[in-house]
Structure 1
Amino acid sequence: MRQHGLEAAISRRRFLALAGALGGAAALGGCGGDGGASSSKVTYWVPPNAELSRMQAYLADVKTGFQKAHSGTTLDNVVVPWEDALTKYTAAFSGGNPPDVTYQIIPWMNKWRSTGVLADFRTLDKGFTDTFLNGVNPDYVKAAEGPKGELLGLPYVGGYWVLALNEALWEKAGKPTLPKTYDDLIPFAQAMTFDKNGRKLGESGYDARNVETYGMCWAPSPPIQENYLWHYFWSFGSDYISADGMDVGFKDDAGRAALRHMKAMVDSGAVTPPNLYSDDVRWQAAVMSGKAAMAWSEGFTAEYAKQYPQLRIKVLEPPAGPGGQYIVGACGFLSVAAKARNRSGALDLVKYLVDDKPLQDFNKLILAKPVRQQPSNYYDGLDDPRMTTFMNEAAALSKYVKITRILPYQPQEYLVGKINDFLLGRQSMDAMIDEASKQIKQMAKAAK
């Protein structure tokens, strides 16, 4: 899954829109480390995971609370626009003058994983680290580990897309039984597909050329599909990359079964055609606008709540396959620089940020999912009660999260394209697998 913010748990479109709105809002001053010399200041760099004014208000509260709890220490928060973040981080780390604490995502951590620029939390404070990690999804922990088992980032906020159901369209279809398995998913989608005359798919006179509502949204866009294709493979007992990372992983019978099931869904008549929309914004809103009854969705935002005042959305459990139930996960981390000027202050700040109240406030601010199970009312008090319901239902699914592979190359977008070649009839399964295998082998070899 492509990672932007929360590894595409919140979309590229959303983050770049936010970052673009910032303009020059965050000027990066000199800050960072001198190899461990003491300082009364702690610096924290974080991209804007929410609208700028709300992000700044949250960070102002953090500064006030942290400085009150740590008298004599000054906190300097710097909001780094997403489109500049990696460049700024690279310059700071390579220059030996990094911020004490940074917000990280997995692709960035992959860049630093073997460079020694991030401190090991298990060395900084093993007792705190072990206690904090209790109950955290182990895939999040694995994604933050270095080559020698170092913990280079503390899992901070999680993310994943959930299967969202438009309740009005479900009711229109007569409330068919909610799907529990991938086998259930296709007839469920078909039962919620109607033409513009109100006829259901399969009924006499149904006009497939004039569909009013599709049962399932299937967007032909890598940033969207990367959030649901991979757990098809996992749920069928396969993977998109081989165990050694050197080949595709879906050559086996389980992988082929997953591909056949995807193809059956796409060919079912209940799936949105690939030319329905031309941009990701409309694709992501398909279930909200009522064009599709069901879709994998990043969340129910305040923007959607305002635009669709009558909308009711239900979060479904992920379908089960022979290999289990999974959701493609994402994570944002807090890291301490190995050359932090104020290492003890940096650790104090991390501890403050992950304390129950600041962490809950941040999750609610950016509509992220928690990295461990939380009470069923964790998101109570959001801007719209429908947002609260959605997030509380979505948060309960964190137990199904699985992270995409940690690799020295990024095969996901290429594989989405190849899988679409098969799903849309441009290649046979065998031809697609053969071609994808050759390309992944080349990518893996080049990354060695």
Structure 2
Amino acid sequence: MRTVRAAAAIALASALTAVAGCGGGSSSGGGGSNESPKTLTYWASNQGPSIEADKKILTPELKKFEKETGIKVKLEVVPWADLLNRILAATTSGQGPDVLNIGNTWSASLQATGALLPWDQKNFDAIGGRDRFVDSAVASAGAEGQDPSAVPLYSLAYALYYNKKMFADAGISQPPATWDQLIADGRKISKDGKWALGAEGANLSNNIHQVFALGKQHGADFFDKAGKPTFTSDGAVAAVKQYIDFMAKDKIIAPGNAEYAQNQSLQDFAKGKTAMVLWQAAASTFASQGMKPEDWGVAPVPVPSGTPGTGQNLNSMVAGINIAVFNNTKNIDGAKKFVKFMTSDAEQKLLNKTYGSVPPVKAAQEDPAFSASDVKVLRDTLATSAAPLPQVANESQFETTVGTAVKGLFADAAAGKPVTTESVKAALTKAQQQMAQ
């Protein structure tokens, strides 16, 4: 999950206008330009329940890579709250790593800076070929018609996780399939200090992920075919209002969730304070919080009616993590060897099992572990009812401006201020104006 600070919009605008061709690599930033060919610096995104958990997961694999190649990897696990800003700063200063993880929704924005190595046929051939990867995952690694700016590493989609005991205690026999059912169930649960649905109201990227899927269900895309923002369309306004109304009107999200930005809603879920969360992959976090697999269930994210599918029954963005190489690394061969290692069949099976994600490498998906019920929901969603976020150069600004608008509306709801169609449209109008600056 990702949180992008408001300052990222300013940084991105600077990056897009001033740094075409710039990239990572420095002695002061730990990057590649002054490093030995036997050393790489790697910024990994926080995928597990904590930074320390990621270090424990990744360190043995990096040691394995060092033993195989003689190349030492200096690891830094970067929180999502900081990652985009760190990357943008690296593109402007040249002080960055050799290899890094990026959220796939940032691919087109970072591609436009020229800072990342393009994955043309030659580069894909160096890691075993483009056809090893699922097509939809590669399609989310850059703008259409251009060589991808990164390589798929972990594939994800959103699902509804629910607490089986809390459902049973409320007399609910199965997870909700529609939003009306979720609200009805939520009202049965939301009492006596318990709440139905968790949210990360101050997490800008999570806000975008949720309202994007709801926007699809209302027939809105947030951008037109020319890439122009359409944040104030009726469908976009309705989608944002629906999401905020879970707190403001339906009273199934705790007001305190307006301030959540760092997985607190998962912690509340694990502690039995909240009955449901909408999340990408959460099994490892639940386990770290003491939950057993039998304590929770997973189902597709609700839709307006019927079952998930195409059109207005899309229920997730195409989520995932890509691995990229800074264009000006002085250890390009070592960086590509590392990408090949991380996307090898064996590592894909191991890492995606650990994180509860889906391998974007076709052969790795054949492992029986990825047919387990929780992962199967993610796989089915990616295959039948998910759509990529807009692959436009200013996608990161979209996350900061609209994500911040949603954050402000959640704050209003938590404070008891009315959230109306007019106030939602005003917030989105401001966001759209900021995109033009």
Superposition TM-score, scaled by structure 1 size: 0.70
> 1:143-222 alignment to 2 at 5 Å?
143-145=140-142, 149-190=146-187, 192-193=188-189, 195=191, 211-218=192-199, 220-222=201-203
Deviation at 1:123, TM superposition (A): 4.1
Please give the alpha-carbon distance, in whole angstroms, between the structure 2 residues aligned to 1:97 and 1:422: 39
Alignment-derived partner of residue 301 in structure 1: 284
Please give the alpha-carbon distance, in whole angstroms, between the structure 2 residues aligned to 1:182 and 1:376: 34
1:45 pairs with 2:35:
no
Please give the alpha-carbon distance, in whole angstroms, between the structure 2 residues aligned to 1:52 and 1:148: 39
What is the one-letter code of the residue matched to 2:76? V
Alignment-derived partner of residue 102 in structure 1: 100
Please give the alpha-carbon distance, in whole angstroms, between the structure 1 residues aligned to 2:323 and 2:279: 26
Alignment-derived partner of residue 64 in structure 1: 64
What is the one-letter code of the residue matched to 1:413? G
Please give the alpha-carbon distance, in whole angstroms, between the structure 2 residues aligned to 1:296 and 1:59: 30
Q: Contact 1:218/1:274 (CA < 8 Å) preserved in 2?
A: no
Match of 1:371 among 360, 384, 393: 360
Alignment-derived partner of residue 213 in structure 2: 231
Q: Which SS does the other structure have where 2:436 is aligned? A: helix
Please give the alpha-carbon distance, in whole angstroms, between the structure 2 residues aligned to 1:170 and 1:178: 8
Please give the alpha-carbon distance, in whole angstroms, between the structure 2 residues aligned to 1:108 and 1:267: 31
Please give the alpha-carbon distance, in whole angstroms, between the structure 1 residues aligned to 2:273 and 2:53: 33
Alignment-derived partner of residue 55 in structure 2: 55
> 1:44-443 alignment to 2 at 5 Å?
44-47=41-44, 49=46, 50=48, 51-52=51-52, 55=55, 58-65=58-65, 67-68=67-68, 73-82=69-78, 100-106=98-104, 109=107, 112-126=110-124, 128-133=128-133, 135-136=134-135, 138=136, 140-145=137-142, 149-190=146-187, 192-193=188-189, 195=191, 211-218=192-199, 220-223=201-204, 224-252=206-234, 254-255=235-236, 257-258=238-239, 261-262=242-243, 265-266=246-247, 269=250, 271-275=252-256, 279=260, 282-297=264-279, 299-301=282-284, 304-308=287-291, 312-321=295-304, 323-371=312-360, 374-375=365-366, 377-378=368-369, 390-391=374-375, 393-399=377-383, 400-405=385-390, 406-408=392-394, 409=397, 410-417=400-407, 419-420=409-410, 426-433=418-425, 435-443=426-434
Report which stretch shifted further, 423-432 or 84-93.
Answer: 84-93
Deviation at 1:78, TM superposition (A): 1.2
Q: Which SS does the other structure have where 2:72 is aligned? A: strand
- For residues 223-276 of structure 1, give each alpha carbon's deviation from its aligned partner in whole angstroms, at most 9, with x where no partner exists: 454442321111222134555454443523x44554564466446655134147
**RMSD after superposition:** 4.1
Q: Which SS does the other structure have where 1:80 is aligned? A: strand
Q: Contact 2:200/2:265 (CA < 8 Å) preserved in 1?
A: yes
Change in CA separation of 1:412 and 1:64 when aligned onto 2, cut-off 3 Å: same
Q: Contact 2:32/2:97 (CA < 8 Å) preserved in 1?
A: yes
Change in CA separation of 1:347 and 1:92 when aligned onto 2, cut-off 3 Å: same
Change in CA separation of 1:144 and 1:238 when aligned onto 2, cut-off 3 Å: same
Please give the alpha-carbon distance, in whole angstroms, between the structure 2 residues aligned to 1:85 and 1:153: 16
Q: Contact 1:98/1:339 (CA < 8 Å) preserved in 2?
A: no
Deviation at 1:193, TM superposition (A): 2.3
Q: Contact 2:196/2:252 (CA < 8 Å) preserved in 1?
A: yes
Structure 2 unaligned blocks of 5 or more: 5-26, 305-310
Please give the alpha-carbon distance, in whole angstroms, between the structure 2 residues aligned to 1:332 and 1:220: 22
Please give the alpha-carbon distance, in whole angstroms, between the structure 2 residues aligned to 1:316 and 1:345: 41
Please give the alpha-carbon distance, in whole angstroms, between the structure 2 residues aligned to 1:441 and 1:413: 12
Report which stretch shifted further, 180-189 or 417-426.
Answer: 417-426
Change in CA separation of 1:249 and 1:40 when aligned onto 2, cut-off 3 Å: closer
Structure 1 unaligned blocks of 5 or more: 5-26, 196-210, 381-387
What is the one-letter code of the residue matched to 2:338? L
What is the one-letter code of the residue matched to 1:438? T
Report which stretch shifted further, 164-173 or 234-243.
Answer: 234-243
Deviation at 1:102, TM superposition (A): 3.0
Change in CA separation of 1:78 and 1:93 when aligned onto 2, cut-off 3 Å: farther
- For residues 374-394 of structure 1, give each alpha carbon's deviation from its aligned partner in whole angstroms, at most 9, with x where no partner exists: 3584269xxxxxxx8645654
| Structure label with greater radius of gyration | 1
Identity of aligned residues (%): 16
Deviation at 1:32, TM superposition (A): 2.3
How many positions carry a matched residue from both structures? Answer: 389
What is the one-letter code of the residue matched to 2:381? L
Please give the alpha-carbon distance, in whole angstroms, between the structure 2 residues aligned to 1:151 and 1:99: 19
Q: Contact 1:44/1:75 (CA < 8 Å) preserved in 2?
A: no
Deviation at 1:122, TM superposition (A): 1.5
